[in-house]
Chains A and B, each alone.
Chain A
Amino acid sequence: MAVDSTGAIVGSRLETALPRIEDQTSDLLDAMAASLHFEVASIPVVATGYGRKLVRRASRQVTEITCHARGVFELLKHEGTLVDVGGQDSKVIVIGPQGRVIDFTMNDKCAAGTGRFLEHTAARLGVNLEEIGPRALGAPREEAITSTCTVFAESEIISLLAHNVEIGPILKGLHRSLVSRVSAMVRAVGIRPPLMLSGGVARNDAFRVMLGDTLEQPVQLPDEPQLMGAFGAALLGLSFSAVGAGFSLRE
């Protein structure tokens, strides 16, 4: 994600992370620079997320917790509780009045609480990732998935399929399982309303609706929820540097 000197988004690119992060991020930067006509060396680059330390050309590294909070605060313009469910982990971040992180908790130990859980099981069901949300929402009933582990859930699904259970209710049950894990994390930190959502899974309607219902809170969503970490990183980069002399972070 790139922003101009006023903090407005001027370009972004999204790719699945490859094992060779150093080369991949380097190529990404070059491609951005070429299309937006800037010199990489002349602008501040902030890297975030897993592998942030491997981005050679970054002038600074900031954790995705701070970056997500910053990005969402800038767009939605208020404090609250941010739920970020990504492919690798999930986090709940309490954002204070100035966009600062007041508290956070995260699950980075178990795939069953992350987007990977849906991705993995959707693949098992042979359903496209884009379709799982609508199909779960449209299901007339729900099949309980009791396994608390991604791998065991997969066996459970296979057994349900073998018993001719329809895919919709299974998908809904899978979403329920993820939602209940994430809402437990939210409750553990304590909700400071409103509830906001970012990360790849935010694009999934079923997750958003079911999470809001479970926590009895309306859920707000920024545009491009998946890019909030990168957006926050870009803004922080601007605030750290001389290029952004006329720019200040929202308070």
Chain B
Amino acid sequence: MNPPPPPPSQISNIEPRKSGGLSLISVASYVFNYQLVGKPFLAYQRHQDERKLKALKQKPQQLLAPPLVRTARMKEMMSRHYLQARYANGVRKVAWVTSGAPVEILQALGFVLIYPENHAALCGARKKAEEICTEAENAGYSRDLCSYARTDLGTLLSGKTIVGRLPRPDLLLCCNNICQTVHLWYRVLASRMKVPLVLIDTPFLYEPAQPHQIEFVKRQIEEMIPVAERVAGKSLSMARLKEVARYSKDAAELWLEILNRGRQKPSPITAFDGFTNMGPIVDLRGEAETVEFYRSLLEEIDERIAAGIPAVKGEKYRVLWDNLPIWYRMGWLSKTLGKQGINLVASDYTYAWGELAPMMDVEKPLDTAARVYLHPILNRSTGDKLRSMKRMVKDFDLHGVILHSDRSCKPYSLGQIDQRDRLTKDLGLAAVLLEADHNDPRAFSEEQALGRIEAFAEMLH
């Protein structure tokens, strides 16, 4: 007999875990560790960090402008988020989600959200990813697998993390609008942790989305709602969903405005400011505080502009960064480029979290979600990515492009050779391919990277 066809909703393993009820011990631990001790401590730490950053601001600028003071607030928000998550099991429902998933619905239902990709990036930036990846490799996961997936699976298998502990999920939400890796990765999570998995399948866009494609995604989102409601134990309020969608849109708009400040000459920000401060737009979009944070970040950047402070002193060359950052080498890279008078004034990666803001219609949150989550840069053709890059070259008035050929992220790196070719031939830009990996330092060689960057700079001179 043939097996029954898979349900159209792509929902597997629907039965939620039984052990999801409220537990008194958990509540007590949550209240004590997170609300009574953790939150005030993190606020105090932020205060200290702000003092240090303000003091740095008073000193005469060396090569690079000191970090933005608001970074301290971002750090507090992200730490608070992970701290709350750490004690969430037994108190609040937890979902693990991919970065490009329609999270507004889960947010409106009160889930605490964990983004394994962001968690992996934090581990990468703190130079812990290699060790964690090795745990996954020891369990048989190939080194060819994306280093985010390896970091996450490594954490799952060994408990190693820099955030204390990741909570067990009650629901997994995976949207394949960034790559197919996430699909297989989340299936592994679902089977290892015995949690329901919702997969939102987004057709790849070779041309602008057709109405039937939007309808296809929208229906999947509609089918996901009752599943999420069952796990959450409550029903979705449209009013709350619209509110969350409003915060998402406002934050994305502000983020876009922040990044567009890079068009100023000299630019008050670098792509590194973007990488450092993108945590909230990924992990905490849909929250009021995120909107507030980006508003204040924009203010600080505008103060920089007013005070005539450039991100890179003596900015000579304005360059675009393509692909994910190299999380474990951000400091080295920003100094190495800065010494050559190069400022990465823009990055298509950070831009991806803002460029879709105009598409969002908060009055129609479901249609909007379907449309927006179909359109991330990684779900569009390589030709379309090239057009976006060319637009950025014009808008930001750029001299060159660094294309990070990321060993892990195949969908982002595919097509880069042709994109590089077109950028140099059509626009006469200098462009260089830098081979590395966003999270796995074993794929990075400093001497070789330096050679390429310096040769690139000599080409610009």
Contacts and interface: CB of A to CB of B under 8 A. Distances in A.
B448 A63 contact: no
B361 interface: no
Given A50-B447, A105-B433, A65 B455 contact: yes
Contacts of A106: 451-452
A66 B458 contact: yes
B424 interface: yes
Interface string B133-163: 0000000000000000000000000000000
A28 interface: no
Given A188-B417, A190-B425, A65 B448 contact: no
Interface string A91-135: 000000000111111101100000000000000000000000000
Interface in A38-86: 50, 61-66
Interface string B422-461: 0011000011110100000000010110011011001100
B424 A104 contact: no
A175 B342 CA distance: 40
B425 A63 contact: no
Contacts of A62: 458
30 contacts: A50-B447, A50-B451, A61-B454, A63-B451, A63-B454, A63-B455, A65-B451, A65-B455, A66-B458, A100-B459, A101-B455, A101-B458, A101-B459, A102-B424, A103-B430, A104-B432, A104-B455, A104-B459, A105-B433, A106-B451, A106-B452, A108-B445, A108-B448, A108-B451, A109-B435, A109-B445, A109-B448, A188-B417, A188-B421, A189-B421
A63 B425 CA distance: 23
Nearest to A100: B459
A66 B421 contact: no
Contacts of B417: 188
Contacts of B451: 50, 63-65, 106, 108
A63 B458 contact: yes
B401 to A, nearest CB: 12
A102 B459 contact: yes
Question: Which secondary structure dominates chain B's binding surface?
Answer: helix
Given A62-B458, A101-B455, A102-B459, A190 B421 contact: yes
A140 B96 CA distance: 63
Question: Which secondary structure dominates chain A's binding surface?
Answer: mixed
Interface residues of A, number: 20
A103 B401 CA distance: 12
A192 B414 CA distance: 25
Contacts of B432: 104
Contacts of B447: 50
A101 B424 CA distance: 12
Interface string B396-438: 0000000000000000000001000100110000111101000
A108 B451 CA distance: 10
A109 B407 CA distance: 12
Contacts of B454: 61, 63
Given A65-B451, A188-B417, 4 more contacts: A66-B458, A100-B459, A103-B424, A106-B452
Of B421, B432, B458, which is in contact with the most chain A CB atoms at under 10 Å from its CB?
B458
Contacts of B455: 63, 65-66, 101, 104
A89 B451 CA distance: 11
Contacts of B452: 106
Nearest to A65: B455
A250 B448 CA distance: 29
Contacts of B430: 103
> Nearest 4 A-B pairs (CB), nearest first?
A65-B455, A63-B455, A66-B458, A108-B448
Of A63, A66, A109, A190, which is in contact with the most chain B CB atoms at under 10 Å from its CB?
A63
A23 to B, nearest CB: 19
Nearest to B421: A190
B389 to A, nearest CB: 17
Contacts of A189: 421
A111 to B, nearest CB: 13
Interface in B1-31: none
A186 to B, nearest CB: 13
Nearest to B431: A103
Nearest to A93: B455
Nearest to B424: A103
B428 to A, nearest CB: 9
Nearest to A64: B451
A55 to B, nearest CB: 14
Nearest to A62: B458
Interface string A179-207: 00000000011100000000000000000
Contacts of A66: 455, 458-459
Of A50, A62, A65, which is in contact with the most chain B CB atoms at under 10 Å from its CB?
A65
A106 B453 CA distance: 12
